[in-house]
Structure 1
Amino acid sequence: MTEPQVAYAQDEYGNPFIVVRDQGKKTRAQGTQAIKDHIKAASTVSNIVRTSLGPRGLDKIMISPDGDIQVTNDGATIMSNMELEHQIAKLLVQLSKSQDDEIGDGTTGVVVLAGALLEQAEMLIDRGIHPIRIADGFDRACEIAVHEVERTADKVEFSPGQVDELAKVIKTCLGSKIVSGTSDKFTQIAIDAVLSVADLDRRDVDFELIKVDGKVGGSLEDSALVKGVVIDKDMSHPQMPREIRDARIAILTCPLEPPRPKTKHKLDISSVEEYRRLEEYERSTFENMIKQIKDSGANLVVCQWGFDDEANHLLLQHGLPAVRWVGGPELELIAIATNGRIVPRFEELSADKLGHAGLVREVSFGTTQDRMMVIEECANTRAVTAFLRGSNKMIIDEAKRALHDAMCVVRSLVKDNRVVYGGGAAEIAASLAVAQAADDIPSIEQYAMRAFSTALDIISLALAENSGLPPIENLAMVKSKQVNEKKAYYGIDCMNVGNNNMKECRVFDPLVSKRQQLLLATQLVRAVLKIDDVIEQHAVDEM
Structure 2
Amino acid sequence: MAEPQVAYAQDEHGRPFIVVREQGKKTRAQGIQALKNHISAAKSVAQIVRTSLGPRGLDKILVSPDGDIQVTNDGATIMQNMELESQIARLMVQLSSSQDSEIGDGTTGVVVLAGALMEQSEALIDRGIHPIRIADGYERACGVAVKALEKVADRVEFGQGAGEQEELMKTARTCLGSKIVSKAGDLFARIAVDAVLSVADLARRDVDFELIKVDGKSGGSLEDTALVKGVVVDKDFSHPQMPREVRDARIAILTCPFEPPRPKTKHKLDISSVEEYKKLQEYEKQTFENMIKRVKDCGANLVICQWGFDDEANHLLLQHDLPAVRWVGGPELELIAIATNARIVPRFEDLSPEKLGRAGLVREVGFGTTRDKMLVIEECANPRAVTVFVRGSNKMIIDEAKRALHDAICVVRNLVRDNRVVYGGGAAEIAASIAVTKAADEIATIEQYAMRAFAAALDAIPLALAENSGLSPIETLAELKSRQITEGTSVLGVDCMLTGNSDMRSAHVFDPYLSKRQQMELSTQLCRAILKIDDVIEQHNVE
Say if 2:257 and 2:305, in contact at 8 Å, map to a contact too: yes
- Structure 2 letter corresponding to 1:328: G
Q: Secondary structure at the match of 1:326?
A: coil
Q: Secondary structure at the match of 1:364?
A: strand
- Structure 2 letter corresponding to 1:507: V
- Equivalent-residue separation in structure 1 for 2:188 and 2:382 (angstroms): 24
Alignment of 1:38-437 (within 5 A): 38-161=38-161, 162-437=164-439
- Equivalent-residue separation in structure 1 for 2:477 and 2:324 (angstroms): 63
Say if 2:306 and 2:333, in contact at 8 Å, map to a contact too: yes
Question: Which one of the candidate residues 521, 539, 542 is aligned to 2:523?
Answer: 521
1:478 counterpart residue number = 480
Deviations 1:424-473 (A, max 9, x none): 00000000100110011111111100100000000000000100100000
2:441 counterpart residue number = 439
- Structure 1 letter corresponding to 2:492: Y
2:19 counterpart residue number = none
- Measured after TM superposition, the shift of residue 373 of structure 1 is 0.4
Deviations 1:14-57 (A, max 9, x none): xxxxxxxx954854101221121111111111110000000000
Inter-CA distance 305–136: structure 2 relative to 1 (3 Å threshold): same
Which range moved further: 434-443 or 272-281? 272-281
Deviations 1:269-294 (A, max 9, x none): 22222212221221121111111111
- Equivalent-residue separation in structure 2 for 1:335 and 1:25 (angstroms): 59
- Equivalent-residue separation in structure 1 for 2:540 and 2:231 (angstroms): 50
Say if 2:25 and 2:540, in contact at 8 Å, map to a contact too: no
Alignment of 1:440-519 (within 5 A): 440-519=442-521
Say if 2:27 and 2:537, in contact at 8 Å, map to a contact too: no
- Measured after TM superposition, the shift of residue 476 of structure 1 is 0.1
Q: Secondary structure at the match of 1:229?
A: strand
TM-score (normalizing by structure 2): 0.94
- Measured after TM superposition, the shift of residue 369 of structure 1 is 1.9
- Equivalent-residue separation in structure 1 for 2:473 and 2:413 (angstroms): 33
Q: Secondary structure at the match of 1:381?
A: coil
1:17 counterpart residue number = none
Q: Secondary structure at the match of 1:84?
A: coil
- Measured after TM superposition, the shift of residue 79 of structure 1 is 0.7
- Equivalent-residue separation in structure 1 for 2:534 and 2:293 (angstroms): 71
- Structure 2 letter corresponding to 1:98: S
Stretches of structure 2 that go unaligned for 5 or more consecutive residues are 1-21
Inter-CA distance 538–264: structure 2 relative to 1 (3 Å threshold): farther
- Structure 2 letter corresponding to 1:191: V
- Measured after TM superposition, the shift of residue 83 of structure 1 is 1.3
Inter-CA distance 535–257: structure 2 relative to 1 (3 Å threshold): farther
- Equivalent-residue separation in structure 2 for 1:165 and 1:152 (angstroms): 17
- Equivalent-residue separation in structure 2 for 1:101 and 1:492 (angstroms): 28
TM-score (normalizing by structure 1): 0.94
- Structure 2 letter corresponding to 1:116: A
- Equivalent-residue separation in structure 1 for 2:71 and 2:447 (angstroms): 43
Q: Secondary structure at the match of 2:382?
A: coil
- Equivalent-residue separation in structure 2 for 1:286 and 1:34 (angstroms): 71
Stretches of structure 1 that go unaligned for 5 or more consecutive residues are 1-21
- Measured after TM superposition, the shift of residue 265 of structure 1 is 3.6
- Structure 2 letter corresponding to 1:143: G
- Equivalent-residue separation in structure 2 for 1:350 and 1:374 (angstroms): 24
- Structure 1 letter corresponding to 2:435: A
Q: Secondary structure at the match of 1:194?
A: helix
Which range moved further: 155-164 or 245-254? 155-164
- Structure 1 letter corresponding to 2:51: T
- Structure 2 letter corresponding to 1:212: V
- Structure 2 letter corresponding to 1:111: V
- Equivalent-residue separation in structure 2 for 1:254 and 1:224 (angstroms): 33
Which range moved further: 134-143 or 162-171? 162-171
Say if 2:113 and 2:460, in contact at 8 Å, map to a contact too: yes
- Aligned residue pairs total 520
- Structure 1 letter corresponding to 2:237: M
- Equivalent-residue separation in structure 1 for 2:85 and 2:280 (angstroms): 59
1:8 counterpart residue number = none
- Equivalent-residue separation in structure 2 for 1:52 and 1:485 (angstroms): 31
- Equivalent-residue separation in structure 2 for 1:264 and 1:532 (angstroms): 63
- Equivalent-residue separation in structure 1 for 2:392 and 2:465 (angstroms): 29
1:19 counterpart residue number = none
- Measured after TM superposition, the shift of residue 158 of structure 1 is 1.0
- Equivalent-residue separation in structure 2 for 1:138 and 1:264 (angstroms): 69
Q: Secondary structure at the match of 2:65?
A: coil
Which range moved further: 138-147 or 259-268? 259-268
Give me the identity figure in percent: 77
- Structure 2 letter corresponding to 1:353: K
- Measured after TM superposition, the shift of residue 536 of structure 1 is 5.0
- Equivalent-residue separation in structure 2 for 1:166 and 1:23 (angstroms): 60
- Measured after TM superposition, the shift of residue 187 of structure 1 is 0.8
- Equivalent-residue separation in structure 2 for 1:261 and 1:441 (angstroms): 81
- Equivalent-residue separation in structure 2 for 1:27 and 1:389 (angstroms): 52
- Equivalent-residue separation in structure 1 for 2:283 and 2:467 (angstroms): 75
- Structure 2 letter corresponding to 1:124: L
Say if 2:26 and 2:540, in contact at 8 Å, map to a contact too: no
Which range moved further: 279-288 or 480-489? 279-288
- Structure 2 letter corresponding to 1:91: L
- Equivalent-residue separation in structure 2 for 1:448 and 1:23 (angstroms): 36
- Equivalent-residue separation in structure 2 for 1:268 and 1:85 (angstroms): 62
- Structure 1 letter corresponding to 2:241: Q
